[in-house]
Chains A and B, each alone.
Chain A
Amino acid sequence: MAAHLILQKILKTGRVSEPAPAADPALRTRVQALQAEILRVFGQAVAVRHVDAGSCNGCELEIHALNAPQYNIEGLGVKFAASPRHVDVLLVTGPVSRNLETALKRTYEATPEPKWVVAMGDCGCTGGLFGASYAACGRVADVIPVDVEVPGCPPTPTALLQGILAAVSGGR
């Protein structure tokens, strides 16, 4: 009886979503601020489209981790969407490879205004270890306008959440 096992496991696991009310006040402040900003700017939620523009896939690991139940991002109003036409924020990883330069520009153009771009990871911010070369353009800001840069290799899910906050609270 799979349903029985599932219910049993759900009950046993309980709620793992963070932040716990008193566990980490600093994180809670940020999370609450984020929610307030989302409410102010977008009314209810912010939709994010991830674009891998040449990453090593390390940053993608942390974007996935941000979707782990501990972070409960949909509860905060942050949702990853399938199409750039449906989003407010583009989350771009990688030193932009020349083979993806055009696809990234088109994705940017397909995203409706108002829009924000978060460049994620050391590569997205500076080109990182890969730098600019015959095959890579380097930092994201050299290809499309960037609002916020979140450094790290890769940045933690919390840092990423802070970056999205910084983007939407820019008040464009």
Chain B
Amino acid sequence: MSAFDSLNPQAIGKHLWRLRLAAAQLPGLAEAVREDGGQLVALWGSDDRHLGAGYAVHVVFLAARGLVWVSAGLAAEAPAYPDLAAVFPQAGRMQRATWDLLGIRAEGAADGRKWLRHGAWPADAHPLRKDYAGEPVRETDAYPFVRVAGDGVHEIPVGPIHAGVIEPGHFRFSIIGERVLKLEERLGYTHKGIEKRFEGMDPDTGARLAGRVSGDSHVAYAWAYCMAVEAATGAQVPERALWLRALFLEIERVANHLGDLGYLGNDVALSFGLNQFWRLKEEWLRLSEALFGHRYLFDRVVPGGVAADLVGGSALAEYCLAVADEVRELKAVYDEHAGLQDRFANTGICAPELAARLGLTGLAGRASAQAWDARVQFPQFPYDGLEVNMATHRRGDVLARAEVRFAELFESLRLIAEIIAGMQEGALRADLPQVTAPCEGIGWVEGWRGEIVVAVRLGADGRLDRVHPHDPSWRNWPLLETSTLGNIVPDFPVINKSFNLSYSGQDL
């Protein structure tokens, strides 16, 4: 008996379900999902007043049957729903962001601080409300960090502008000696109003914007968005286009894993690793450009299909073998290098129990025994015929996250050859059916970092009415905090890199 059996959710796609219930039922449902071993993936809100309703809160759960999108209607005045962070702690920041953007309150939540709002709009304004017409303001961003007190404790504030070429965010370390007693993150710096920007866009432009929620996961976002739009409109995507999307997704995974493995070496002073992996990555990017016209495959996934075809697949398949050979040589160096192993092993540990409790996901989750990969348990076409091998580890340290990357890199190189072999000739794109009434859909893609979920509502005019793109980083950022505890400050860069989370993806 699972949490959803008696509730009869509606099937809205392969492994995708929809359920509407009253907000008061949410905590009980969350508890039941938790008992079944499921997770909370995403939480957001919407202003539905222009549709003759009030507001709504949306929660996406991962369960044995797949992804269940649960929506609860809320009042038009003082909208509120019961806190879910007590059951799923990862909901905390999502609830705070929902308050900042929509003024929908999580009643009984332990942490009521703002999250995405800094000083650009006042506390009583909520930019995602349809009638928001506020002018930007410049308020002082007073944020109450949690203070750690005691003999010899001091703070190191870092950021938002960091010392390396990385995205901006603020890290507040409370330390004693060199040991980290507490790390508190303050994010939201790259908040650029993406969700508001979607409103009123045509679906094609929306795909370009979705791909830029987090540029390093462009294909995953564009695919998840298109999957949602196609589900909403009932479009039939040609098979070859789906094969090509899978090819692009694995190319994106290879590019990111190559880069991360190089930086992981660099962060423990093995610049050999950086230079070798980045040599391979640069060659990989140039090949992507030669084959598909863009180094990162931007705008190649479009609503209804794809905008680039593969010509000469056998050369790519052969090249994958060559890359795999090179990576094997480099892995032998990483495996043998005592200094690197010493820095990787037992650093930045996230134990499996904590990972399960706090909802660690994606490749970092798999390195802490959270064995979820949508390509494996809940495959869409063409993954349902590819038999993807999942990479998992139990150590939960930097070494485990590097090992999972190596395993996934080899697996993606293998999959690319299989995809090329499996692809049949055919059309690349189908037109979207005409929209005549508001319609909704959701997309779910296993990106290189973890699951990308995009929910879409189109208006009766066929334009975007509400889009919520959801990054796996929402769930993993809080676990970067816990994984850093007890480590020394100089190990933070390599711990951070081993998670490599998106700022832009969660700042929106």
Contact = CB atoms under 8 A, between A and B. Distances in A.
Interface of A: 1-2, 5-6, 9-10, 13, 16, 50-65, 67-70, 80, 82-84, 94-95, 97-101, 103, 107, 128-131, 133-136, 153-154, 156
A9 B212 contact: no
A2 B212 contact: no
B430 interface: no
A5 B96 CA distance: 50
A27 to B, nearest CB: 13
A99 B120 contact: yes
Interface in B155-207: 160-161, 163-168, 188-194, 196-197, 205
A6 B165 contact: no
Interface of B: 118-121, 127, 132, 134, 136, 138, 141, 160-161, 163-168, 188-194, 196-197, 205, 208-209, 212-216, 218, 259, 272, 275-276, 278-279, 281-282, 285, 295-296, 298, 329-330, 332-333, 336-338, 340, 502-504, 507
Given A61-B296, A82-B164, A95-B192, A10 B132 contact: no
Contact of A56 (B212, B276, B282): B212
Contacts of A133: 192-193, 196-197
B472 to A, nearest CB: 14
Contacts of B167: 52, 55, 57, 60
A80 B165 contact: yes
B314 to A, nearest CB: 25
Contacts of A70: 279, 282
Contacts of B338: 2
Residue from B121, B127, B191, B205 with most neighbouring chain A CB atoms (10 Å): B191
26 contacts: A5-B336, A6-B272, A9-B276, A54-B190, A58-B218, A58-B298, A64-B165, A64-B259, A64-B278, A68-B282, A94-B190, A95-B192, A97-B189, A97-B507, A98-B138, A99-B120, A100-B189, A101-B138, A103-B160, A107-B161, A129-B205, A131-B197, A134-B120, A135-B191, A135-B192, A136-B193
Contacts of B502: 57
A84 B161 CA distance: 10
B4 to A, nearest CB: 35
Given A2-B337, A61-B216, A99-B189, A56 B504 contact: yes
A68 B278 contact: yes
Contacts, number: 165
Contact of B282 (A65, A107, A136): A65
A134 B127 contact: yes
Residue from A2, A67, A70 with most neighbouring chain B CB atoms (10 Å): A2
Contacts of A101: 138
Contacts of A94: 190, 192
Contact of B276 (A13, A64, A154, A156): A13
Contacts of B259: 61, 64
A23 B160 CA distance: 42
A9 B296 CA distance: 28
A103 B329 contact: no
Contacts of A136: 192-193
A65 B279 contact: no
A85 B332 CA distance: 40
A135 B120 contact: yes
Given A2-B333, A63-B165, A154-B215, 9 more contacts: A55-B190, A57-B214, A57-B502, A58-B296, A58-B298, A69-B282, A98-B136, A134-B134, A134-B196
B168 A52 contact: yes
Contact of B191 (A64, A97, A107): A97
B214 A100 contact: no
Contact of B504 (A55, A69, A107, A153): A55
B335 to A, nearest CB: 8
A164 B329 CA distance: 36
Nearest to A71: B282
Residue from A52, A99, A128 with most neighbouring chain B CB atoms (10 Å): A99
A61 B504 CA distance: 13
B180 to A, nearest CB: 21
A98 B120 contact: yes
Contacts of B164: 82
B166 A97 contact: no
Contact of A99 (B191, B213, B215, B340): B191
B119 to A, nearest CB: 8
Nearest to A4: B336
A46 B336 CA distance: 37
Contacts of A5: 329, 332-333, 336
Nearest to A8: B329
A33 to B, nearest CB: 23
Contacts of B278: 64-65, 67-69
Contacts of B507: 97, 99
Contacts of A50: 165
A131 B216 CA distance: 20
